[in-house]
Amino acid sequence: MWGGPVRKGIATAVLSLVAVTACTTPAGAPGGSAHGATRPRSDITSVPATSTSSPTSSVAATDVPAESSTSSVVVLDPGHNGGNSGAPGQINRPVPAGGFTKPCNTVGAETSAGYPEHAFTFNVALRVQDLLRAGGVTVVMTRPDDFGVGPCVNERAETANQAGAALAVSIHADGASPDVRGFHVIEPALAPDGGNAAILDASAKAASDLLTAFSTATGEPLATYPGALVRSGLTRRDDLAGLNLARVPAVFIECVNMRNPEDGATAADPDWRQRAAEGIAGGVLTYLASR
């Protein structure tokens, strides 16, 4: 159960207790949550240095044009990756997560019909990328395709930091109990090592903008099942490396609960994924316009 900030001293112990919980395994809270407040410190995945996938540094270097210093750069981080399930040794290795360690990455959730989270998040991210680029935003993706391994969660955060992003959006879909549904946005709490203090207020603003735009675009209900709810559809966490290690404003969105039958069918519908992308892009653009 997510009872509040996990302090450094107990973070390791908490990690050791929950690390066996997979992304698709409901945690202890009502309804459970793969990315929810009670889920393991093993949320996202990443590319080990030895991977044949493009290193995040080269992705950023390739995708950021020279004029990026004067335009808004947004980093899109599609959760997990298609090659993760075949590389447990690489994705299970511990990496820094902001005062503790967690696995480099995880396999992710999937619907009851077998539609995997990594494919969903990558497809939605591509759609968001198109929409943002059409709006004049420079987009950097943390992974270039959906068949690699990783990158590690700390490397994904570093991609956003190195890009000097105006905002980093990590796109996920939850793997909670089948009887709950809805989307939620996750904003950062102060990391156990305190390193993300400077980005908390801006990230909260971005989370609010994202929540409003996504709800409007998709009609998806605001999730009430996660254990760290600030309000319906919004949680605040200090156990996600992508938020703890961010030095630029950063948020996560869990677009649906993939294990819920209605939400699972929703995720598999390309027309709905386009609306989801429109909601995410709309929230990003609202945030950028407010800066």
Alpha-carbon distances, residue 183 vs 24, 31, 137, 255, 262 (angstroms): 16, 13, 25, 5, 12
For Zn ion (CB under 5 A), the number of binding residues is 3
Is residue 82 involved in binding Zn ion (CB under 5 A)? no
155 is catalytic: no
Shortest Å, Cβ 67 to Zn ion:
33
**Pairing of the two strands 167-174 and 73-78:** parallel
Helix axes 270-290, 200-218, angle to 10 degrees: 140
Q: What's the CA gap between 154 and 291, in Å, rounded?
A: 26
> 32 or 79: whose CB is closer to Zn ion?
79
For residue 152, which phi and psi values (nearest 5 degrees)?
-65, 155
Only one residue has tokens 């390739």, namely 62
Shortest Å, Cβ 160 to Zn ion:
17
Shortest Å, Cβ 108 to Zn ion:
5
Is residue 237 involved in binding Zn ion (CB under 5 A)? no
Helix axes 117-134, 270-290, angle to 10 degrees: 50
Which of 194, 193, 176 has its CA nearest to residue 184?
176
For the window 95-124, what string marks contact with Zn ion as x by the rule CB under 5 A? -------------x----------------
> 79 or 103: whose CB is closer to Zn ion?
79
* Among 110, 117, 254, 278, the one annotated catalytic: 254
Shortest Å, Cβ 71 to Zn ion:
29
Is residue 172 involved in binding Zn ion (CB under 5 A)? yes
Q: What's the CA gap between 183 and 230, in Å, rounded?
A: 14
> 117 or 278: whose CB is closer to Zn ion?
117
Is residue 79 involved in binding Zn ion (CB under 5 A)? yes
- Give catalytic residue positions: 254
Q: Please give the residue ranges that form the binding site for Zn ion (CB under 5 A).
A: 79, 108, 172
